[in-house]
Amino acid sequence: MDNGLDKAREHFIQALCRIARFWGFPKAMGAVYGAIYLSPEALTLDDLVRLAGVSKGSASIQVRSLERLRMIRKDLRVGDRKDYYSPETDFWKMIKSILGQREKQEFDRALGAVAESLDMVHKAGAADLIRAAFLADRMKAMKDFFGQLDGLVRIILALDSLKAPFPGMTTGENGNEPR
């Protein structure tokens, strides 16, 4: 019953779990996306309990996150109270969505906090002018860097073909040789 295809499926889903963790998501999110991605049919929550090996509660939470990131879609069927989930398969779209949501959010926080620190230095620097100047310098350098990074991200998001921003990128040799 546990044939080779199921083995392959397991292996693939495990890989997605790793990737999810690496990006700071729960591994169940990877498992749920994997199960949906490898299914020819849209899946229900109960399917996910079977196919992704998670509890129903967890499945419920993960599909919500995944939908928010636009990695899956919820399909409703008339005369059927179940929710059906199918995968987004355009990975570049997904990346853009994730960059635009999750990253941006944390990003703005960071930029904001650094800017605040710099302000605090400006408003405080009466006693030790040399130290204040040094701190302001360093903080400003980082703030400027974040500003540039933000600009870069925004440009990437604006590209309508993120797929091939540089010539020679889509030639598609396997691309796994050591750098």
Partner DNA sequence: TTTTTTGTTTAGAATATTTTGAACGTTCAT
Partner DNA sequence: ATGAACGTTCAAAATATTCTAAACAAAAAA
- Residue 100 in the binding site for DNA (CB under 7 A): no
Residue type, 167: P
Of the candidates 25, 33, 34, 51, which one interacts with DNA according to CB under 7 A?
A: 25
Residues 110 to 139 in contact with DNA, rule: CB under 7 A: none
Q: Distance between CA 44 and CA 32 in Å, rounded?
A: 11
User: Which partner from the list a copy of itself, DNA, none does 129 bind, CB cut-off 5 to 8 Å by kind?
Assistant: none
Closest approach, Cβ 32 to DNA, in A, equals 9
DSSP-based three-state secondary structure for 162? coil
Conformational region of residue 93, where left means phi above 0, alpha means psi within -120 to 50, and beta covers everything else: alpha
Partner that binds at residue 4, options a copy of itself, DNA, none, CB closer than 5 to 8 Å by kind: a copy of itself
Rounded to the nearest whole angstrom, what is the least distance from the CB of residue 19 to DNA in the complex? 13
Give the E-state strand segments of 64-163 in sequence order: 72-76, 83-87
| Segment lying near DNA (by CB under 7 A), choices 41-49, 88-96, 136-144, 168-176 | 41-49
| DSSP labels, 61-86 | HHHHHHHHTTSEEEEE-TT--SEEEE
27-37 and 56-68 helices cross at what angle (nearest 10)?
A: 80
Contact letters for DNA, residues 51-90 (x by CB under 7 A)? --xxxxxx-xx-xx--------------x-xxx-------
Q: Which residues bind DNA (CB under 7 A)?
A: 21, 24-29, 44-46, 53-58, 60-61, 63-64, 79, 81-83
